[in-house]
Structure 1
Amino acid sequence: MRSGAARSSNAARWAAAGAAGPGSAAGKARGGGSGAGSARARRAAATRDWTAAGLLHGGTGAAWGGVGDARLARPCSRRGEARPKARGGLALQQRGWSSPASAGSVQARRGPAPCRRGAGHLRAGEARCERSSFQPQRPPTVIRKKEEAATEVTMRWATAHLPLATCDETEDDRQALLCLKSQLTGPAGVLASWSNTSLDVCSWHGITCSTLSPRRVIALDLDSEGISGSIPVCITNLTSLTRLQLSNNSFHGEIPSELGILSRLGNLNLSMNTLEGNIPSELYACSQLQILDLRSNSLHGRIPPNLGQCEHLQEINLSNNNIEGAIPSSFGTLPELRKLVLTNNRLTGNIPPSLGSSRFLKYLDLGVNALIGIIPESLANSSSLQVLRLMSNNLTGELPKALFNTSSLLDISLQQNNLVGSMPSVTATSPPIQYLDLTNNHISGKIPYSIGNLSSLIDLRLTENNLSGSIPDSLCQIPALQILAMSVNSLSGPVPPSLFNMSSLTFLAIGNNSLVGSLPSNIGYTLPNIQALILSTNKFDGPIPASLAKAYNLDNILLDLDMTAYVTDFGLARFMFTTRSAHQDRSTGLACLKGSIGYIPPEYGMSEGISTKGDVYSFGVLLLQMMTGCSPTDEKFSDGGTLREFVDRAFPDNINAVADPAMLQDDSNATEVMMKCVIPLVRVGLSCSKTSPRERPDMGRVSTEILGIMHVASQMGVM
């Protein structure tokens, strides 16, 4: 029977070998790192392994798990020293640190320590066996007293050395954040908690840490904090970062290409800043990226095609920039893509048909660009697509019939293109379409009777097309219809009486057509929710119903009943055309003409007679001034240019460059406001301020358009 000293020596040898073992099978089974330099990602597992394998098994068996990494063997208190390159207990002894064996004052027996499978021996003075071959034997049984002593030694050693990886990694994060703070400016107190004297980064403002040890920084959220500066490259030292949110600040400069180093990054939001330059192609290396939001900056260049390699991308928002070129067809191959928003850029080329292959794509917004070609039929094949917004492009061709008969589409916005042909028939029993906007195209023919099958329709806009025929009474069968806009077409015949009985209507615009008949006397009661009623420039007759006074929600009304013309009360118009004879008696003198330079129409300087078209011009200039914040007499026009020319050069692709930034700076829904309100108003201003009076619209039509825009704005809550 072995003596107690021999057993104690065996146990000590086991402890030393275990502490130095760089790659034991037991350590690897528990996720420990190899002595040759374990990966940083395994350190947390190694720490848990020591605790579980060593302390639970008791005795010197705590050496399982392989702690040969020099970072695990370096105490925080000695952070200034160079890391030992050697591994294991011997290296620790040489640097003045204790191994488990030496700490317990147990005499280690000289001679080889056995490795299983005959892979090699630990010779005297060596710290390890061959990598991946060291397989320590079960420590010999020792008496209880010696076992308890060895356990105490192991616990002391583990407490002193094993948390070191956590200390190192947390310190790396802390230093990265302090570097970030040193290069940014912002309101006092925003980053006050980011102090050099505070060691707990997890308590700092905007920081989220992982719940398990080591507690690494996994999220940096500094949205809307008033911070300015360029994005420091040292932010990439936060190697565990999964979410980076810096939106709605004043960051400038270029997006660091080094962000591609952050392989765990899942959410990158740099929206609503003043970032410039190209979108870094290196972002494709962020293999876990799910959300990429760079909207509302000043980015230019092309969209990197290799972003299509980020197979986990679910949302891409690059709207409100100056991005050029074509839409990468690789976006159509992203298997998890759900939302693609590229609104208000300078994109050209065709819409990639491959986007119709995106099985989970729900939201597609490519509006306000310079896209050409037809609308791909394949988009109707996307079984999940709910929102399709392609407005304000140069799209041509006919409306795809399949779009009106899908089982998923809720919103179809195709306004302000060059689409032709007739409106497709609705063959499906009850498509879910709620919003349909075909305004300002070249669609002709009759409104199909089958449009009544769109039983979920809330908003229907067909203004400024070439539609003819009568208004189908099937429209009156849509129970939830609130907005019906069909002005500026060639519609004729009487209005279906049931149209004036739709209690759900809040906006009805059928002006500038050739409709006939009279209004029902009880219209004020049958349209209780009506807010805007535009019937001007038709061929209606009869009196204005007194019941309209009972329509308490009615804010705007344009009628021309019993009149051959309707003139909006604006400027000089109130002095003209009060009677038919006034037309022959009007004065053409300019002696009493009043007005400011820049607002007076150019034809007045050529001795042409005054007219309401002059008022239209003045109104257009005033509208452009409101949209841009620039006066027509601004110094920038001293070289002979005009406000209209200044705006026209930027419209619509670069409207952000001339629009008054104060209009949108506090609006979280700036993209939609720009598209639905600002651009339409600028278009009206440009139309009104054309040089030739014949090309200007009459104020009746202008009022119709502006009231429609006002109604949209009120629904969006911006009025």
Structure 2
Amino acid sequence: MCFKSQLSDPTGALASWSSNTSVNICSWHGVTCNSTRQPSRVTELDLESLQLTGIISPCIANLTFLERVHLPNNGLNGQIPPELGDLQMLRYLNLSSNSLDGDIPSSLGKSLARSSSLKVLKLGKNNFDGEIPPAVFNSSSLVRIDLQQNNFTGAIPQVPKIMLKLQYLNFMSNSLSGSIPTSLGNISSLLYLYLEGNNLIGAIPESLGHIPGLRALTLTTNRLSGEVPLSLYNTSTLIYLDVRHNLLVGRLPDNIGNLLPNIQTLILEDNKFEGKIPASLADCTSLEVLDLANNSFSGAIPPLGSLQNLVYMDFSLNHLEDPDWSFLSSVSNCTQLRNLHLMSNNISENFIPSIIGTIGNLSVLSLSGNRLSGPIPDSLGNLEQLTELYLRDNELNGSIPKSLGNCKNLQLLNFSHNSLDGSIPAELLKIPSLSEGLDLSHNKLSGVIPQEIGSLINLGVLNISNNRLSGQIPSTVGQCIVLESLRMEGNLLEGSIPQSFMNLKGIREMDLSRNNLSGEIPEILASLNDLQYLNLSFNDFSGVVPSTGVFANATEVSVQGNKRLCSGAPMIGLPLCSDNSKRTSKSLLLKILIPICALSAILLSCFFVVHLKRRRSKPSVQDFREQEKVSYEDIAKATNWFSTTNFVGSGSFGTVFKGTMAFDTNPIAIKVFNLNFHGALRSFYAECEAMRSIRHRNLVKIITSCSTIDPSGAEFKALIFQYMPNGSLDMWLHPKVHGYNNIKVLTLAQRINIAQDVSFALDYLHNQCVCPLVHCDLKPQNVLLDNDMTAHVSDFGLARFLCIDPSSATNSSTGLSGLKGSIGYIAPEYGMGGEISTEGDIYSFGVLLLEMFTGKQPIHEGFKNGMNLHSFVKSSFPDRIGEILDPNIMHEIAENNNQGDLIMQSCIVPLIKLGLLCSMELPKDRPEMGYVTDEIHAIRTSFSNNLSRDEK
């Protein structure tokens, strides 16, 4: 009852536990007694999966005859009571799948050391941390140790030879470091060893291959290196070997089939193995799973038709060949095969043989990325069990076989990036199981979209973009009510958007751009609450653009290239819509105002004549600050009424237009704020406050501001800046992202100069202003380039003065919807609620510096599993830095034969090092901006001297 008092029992599972002495304790739920002893003693406590919460009371140790404690899959928290170590008769302890934390009590470890009864210790799937106490290995009776999925750190303890009975050891998914102790090989009784998901380094000990009865070994997802010891391949009892996601090298033994005759699962994925796949693998007749993906295996794939038990085979991402399809022909004998992956190998310029249709039980087939040619064989329609089919990134031609309609279990089909022609077969669109995705993009398909597309009521992703499809969008698309992504861009579609699209309630992404669609943009699109990206650009839409729903955020919608569209607000690069309803009421007003305006014009003309005579020259952009405040009409005229031809770009809170004022021919940049966005008004005031107080040659120059109302009576805010003709740094680093193909690339000298310009700007903001200013949103989009390619830092909408109390500051970036920058450039401490500081800007500068010299954005799609731009660069620094540099830089260095190595060592390596230092995870590890500026200046000087010597 004391044990129960510390628990919460929401389901009433312990209702039978009562202090009523008339009820026998041994009949309580989960309680087992030893009936042979008088009086009876509690020997087992079994309370699995009862949703119990609370702590394990030390009172449990008073049940001194306990032999079995089984409490998994509950919500127990707190620490293991040390008193558990006093249970001398305990032989089984299972506390897994709870929320327990802290260290394993030393008393429990000592109890293990002196215990001769405990056989099973299961503490997995909790939150234990600290080091694994060595005493865990000091019991001669333990048969099973399971500490998986915790937060244990440090090295795996050395194992004494006292472990005479241990058969199962599981340390998976912790944070263990160091190397695998060779002493694990001393556990001669071990059958199963799981060390997956840690931070283990070094080589696999040869001693593991000397464990006589080892059946399963999992070393997945560590940082192990070197070759797999031959002794491990020679463990004939092994049925399961998984070493994927490491840094292992070497070749497989030619006689591996003789060494591992009983192997059932062999997974070597994502390492650096090389050489040929041994033909003797065909002798591993018990194999069920064979995964050699993402290595450097080469040569022909050997025939493996004798593997009658094989269910899963993955040879993707290697350099393998099958010149005469002998391998694929042999695999047709593998009657149990369900998954066959051959993606991204060298099986080039081959037709897909029709024999592939005889692998009757095949469920997943991937032949993508092999430059396969010819037609898709009709025999694929014989694979009635097929659920996923991947043939993307090949050179296939001809039409899509109608026989695929026989694959009634198909869930995902990807034929993208080929040269397929003809129409989309209606039979394909009648497969009711298609749910994961249908991708036919980047082909030469023509004709109309069949009405049968509405049969795909379970489809989540539909991509038929970049083909030659014509006709109207079928209204039946609206029947695909589960659709989340719809891509139809780059076709010849015409007509209007069907009203049936209102049924696509779960749609998140829709791209209909680059077609011939017309009519008005239907208001129903604004009612799709989950829609996060909408691209209607380069069509022939007309009328008013809706202003609610997805249209309220300019960053989520693109409508450029529709010349007959207009907008009620100047936020998406469109002209303002005329209001015909006001013309009648305005006519009377005009009759009154025209005479007054005429008289005013005469007086103003006289004033300007006198004023202009006093001036020696025409007012320039630099003198513009002295002019009267500009009006809404001035800005509207300057931008040709916010025409698409004047549209420069859009940001988080507004749109930028290029313009020219009537009394000055120099171009200006006008940033119009969309005050419908939360935080836009505060951003306007923040930028005004910042720009009012700072002046520097590497900061964008503000000319004036405009704060008024527009013709509809709505509030209007705009800032006018000096125009930067060479756009943003982002446009130069990633021209294809912005739709540019012919833009000139940045030279190495320009990159160094830009890095210095930006560092000068930040040094000024941090160290030379009376009140230090943190930019909070440094990124390539906010670095603008003038005629001379001099860099100017812009966009101070999130800037923050450090000497102003955050609670009273009008420009506090913490108030802007919690924003403190842009994804990829935000300092890690901001994501954990840290205070804004100059170190945050330094982190952003470090990322920007790495991006400038690698050409990769910090949100690059290749960065997965916790990798970011910093770790990507660090993994190759400094010895392999040439492998990750922007190819344009490497080309420039290659052309400079005399000074290439010198430039690499004296300029590029120091700059990359500086980028890594600035983007360190901890703020205290980042250098101060003054130091950064000095270092870049020294690097630039060295670079200039090298070039001068080369010219001489």
The interval holding the TM-score normalised by the smaller chain is: 0.5 to 0.7
Q: For residues 356 and 238 of structure 1, what CA distance do their matches in structure 2 show?
A: 38
Q: How does 1:593-632 map to 2 (within 5 A)?
A: 606=731, 608-610=735-737
Q: Which residue does 1:548 correspond to in 2?
A: 380
Q: Which residue of 2 aligns with 1:262?
A: 87
> What's the secondary structure of 2:7's corresponding residue?
coil
- Which residue does the alignment assign to 1:244? 69
SS class of match (1:329):
coil
Cα deviation, residue 609, structure 1: 3.4
In the other structure, the counterpart of 1:514 is: 346
Q: Which residue of 1 aligns with 2:672?
A: none
CA distance in 1, matches of 2:86, 2:154: 27
Q: Residue 209 of structure 2 aligns to a residue in which SS?
A: helix
Runs (5+) with no aligned partner, structure 1? 1-177, 613-634, 651-680, 696-719
- Alpha-carbon separation, structure 2, partners of 1:687 and 1:518: 38
Q: 1:202 to 1:363 in 2, by over 3 A?
A: same
Letter in 2 for 1:575: S
1:205 maps to 2:29: yes
Change (3 A) 1:188 1:490: closer
Q: How does 1:474-553 map to 2 (within 5 A)?
A: 475-494=304-323, 495-496=325-326, 497-516=329-348, 517-524=350-357, 526-553=358-385
1:231 alignment counterpart: 56
Task: Note the C-alpha offset of 1:367.
Answer: 0.2
Question: Does the 8 Å contact 1:426/1:454 carry over to 2?
Answer: no
Q: Does 1:318 align with 2:318?
A: no
Indicate conservation of the 8 Å contact 1:341/1:365, yes or no. yes
In structure 1, the partner of 2:466 is: 576
State the 1:255 CA deviation: 0.8
- Specify whether residues 429 and 312 from structure 1 end up closer, same or farther in structure 2 by C-alpha distance, changes over 3 A only: closer
Q: 1:257, CA displacement in angstroms?
A: 1.1
8 Å CA contact retained: 1:332, 1:356: no
Letter in 2 for 1:235: I
Separation in structure 1 between the aligned mates of residue 98 and residue 299 of structure 2, nearest angstrom: 50
Q: Which amino acid aligns with 2:3?
A: L
Deviation of 1:683 after TM superposition, in Å, equals 7.7
Q: Secondary structure at the match of 2:73?
A: coil
Helix, strand or coil at the partner of 2:269: coil
In 2, the alpha carbon distance for the partners of 1:318 and 1:241 equals: 22
The equivalent residue for 1:708 is none
Q: Contact (CA 8 Å) 1:429, 1:453: kept in 2 or not?
A: no
The separation in 1 between residues aligned to 2:356 and 2:317, in whole angstroms, is 23
Report how far residue 187 of structure 1 moved.
2.1
Helix, strand or coil at the partner of 2:233? helix
Tell me how far apart the structure 2 counterparts of residues 392 and 293 of structure 1 sit (CA, whole Å): 22
Matched, 1:291 2:120: yes
CA distance in 2 between counterparts of 1:289 and 1:308 reads 12
> What secondary structure, in the 3-state scheme, does the structure 2 residue paired with 1:450 have?
helix
Whether the 8 Å contact between 1:367 and 1:390 is mirrored in structure 2 is: yes
Instruction: Name the CA shift for 1:578/1:499 in 2 (closer, same or farther; >3 Å).
Output: farther
After superposition, what is the alpha-carbon deviation per residue over 1:524-551, rounded to whole angstroms, capped at 9, x for unaligned? 2x20000011111113223211111121
Alignment of 1:152-551 (within 5 A): 178-198=1-21, 200-212=24-36, 213-284=38-109, 285-286=111-112, 287=115, 288-330=117-159, 333-427=162-256, 428=258, 431-473=261-303, 475-494=304-323, 495-496=325-326, 497-516=329-348, 517-524=350-357, 526-551=358-383
| Contact persistence 1:543–1:562 (CA under 8 A) | no
Contact 1:332 1:352 (C-alpha < 8 Å) held by counterparts:
no
Give the Cα separation in 2 of the matches to 1:310 and 1:405.
30
- Partners in 1 of 2:817 and 2:219 — Cα distance? 34
Instruction: Give the paired residue count.
Output: 461
Structure 1 distance, partners of 2:244, 2:343, is 18
Amino acid aligned to 1:201: I
- Measured in 2, the distance between the counterparts of 1:293 and 1:641 equals 44
Could you give the per-residue CA deviations for residues 7-36 of structure 1, whole angstroms, max 9, x where no partner exists? xxxxxxxxxxxxxxxxxxxxxxxxxxxxxx
Q: Distance in 2 between matches of 1:380 and 1:649?
A: 48
In the other structure, the counterpart of 1:617 is none
Letter of the aligned partner of 1:196 in structure 2? S
**In terms of mean alpha carbon deviation, does 383-392 or 197-206 score higher?**
197-206
Larger Rg: 1
What is the distance in 1 between the residues matched to 2:263 and 2:817? 47
Q: How far apart, in 1, do the equivalents of 2:293 and 2:223 lie?
A: 18
1:638 equivalent in alignment to 2:819: yes
1:357 is displaced (CA, Å) by 2.0
- 1:166-212, Cα deviation, whole Å (9 max, x unpaired): xxxxxxxxxxxx11112211125311211111352111111111122
SS of 1:336's partner is coil
Kept in 2, the 8 Å contact 1:421–1:443? The answer is yes
User: Hey, what does 2:537 align to over in structure 1?
Assistant: 592
Q: Can you list the C-alpha shifts for 1:258-292, whole angstroms capped at 9, x where unaligned?
A: 11111111111111111110011211314121111
- TM-score, length-normalised on structure 2? 0.44
Distance in 2, matches of 1:457 and 1:188, equals 46
CA contact 2:235–2:259 (8 Å) conserved in 1: no
**Distance 1:282-1:504 versus aligned 2 partners, 3 A rule:** same
Q: In 2 relative to 1, CA 318–642 (structure 1 residues): closer, same or farther, beyond 3 Å?
A: farther
Shift of 1:423: 1.7
1:566 deviates by 4.2
Q: Which residue of 2 aligns with 1:673?
A: none
* Residues 518 and 637 of structure 1, relative CA distance in 2, 3 Å threshold: farther
Q: 1:203 to 1:384 in 2, by over 3 A?
A: same
Output the CA distance in 2 between the equivalents of 1:440 and 1:462.
8
Aligned to 2:432: none
Shift in Å at residue 638 of structure 1? 3.1
Tell me the distance in 1 between the aligned counterparts of 2:58 and 2:557. 51
**SS of aligned partner of 1:307:** helix
Alpha carbons 1:522, 1:545 under 8 Å: kept: no
| Structure 1 residues 432-489: Cα deviation after superposition (integer angstroms, max 9, x where no partner) | 000011111111111122222212111100111111111012x222221121100111
1:405/1:431 contact within 8 Å kept: no
Tell me if the contact between 1:492 and 1:515 (Cα under 8 Å) persists in the aligned partners.
Answer: yes
Which amino acid is 2:121 matched to? Answer: L
d(CA) in 1 for partners of 2:145, 2:829:
30
CA distance in 2, matches of 1:506, 1:470: 22
How many Å apart are 1:502 and its aligned residue? 2.7
The CA deviation at 1:523 is 2.4
Of 196-205 and 570-579, more deviation after overlay is shown by 570-579
Alpha carbons 1:333, 1:354 under 8 Å: kept: no
The separation in 2 between residues aligned to 1:406 and 1:576, in whole angstroms, is 53
Q: RCO higher in 1 or 2 (8 Å CA, sep ≥ 6)? A: 1
Q: Which consecutive unaligned segments of at least 5 residues does structure 2 have?
A: 398-414, 418-438, 442-460, 470-488, 493-512, 516-533, 539-549, 559-649, 652-727, 740-815, 832-860, 873-882, 885-952
Q: CA deviation at 1:689?
A: 11
Residues 626-663 of structure 1, C-alpha deviations (whole Å, 9 max, x = no match): xxxxxxxxx9973336489899999xxxxxxxxxxxxx
Structure 1 position 235, deviation (Å)? 0.9
> Which residue identity lines up with residue 452 of structure 1 in the other structure?
A
For the structure 1 residues 460 and 188, does the alpha-carbon distance in structure 2 shift closer, same or farther, using more than 3 Å as the test? Answer: closer
**What is the Cα deviation at residue 404 of structure 1?**
2.5
Q: Tell me, what secondary structure is at the counterpart of 2:59?
A: helix
Compute the displacement of 1:563 (Å): 3.4
SS at match of 2:313: strand
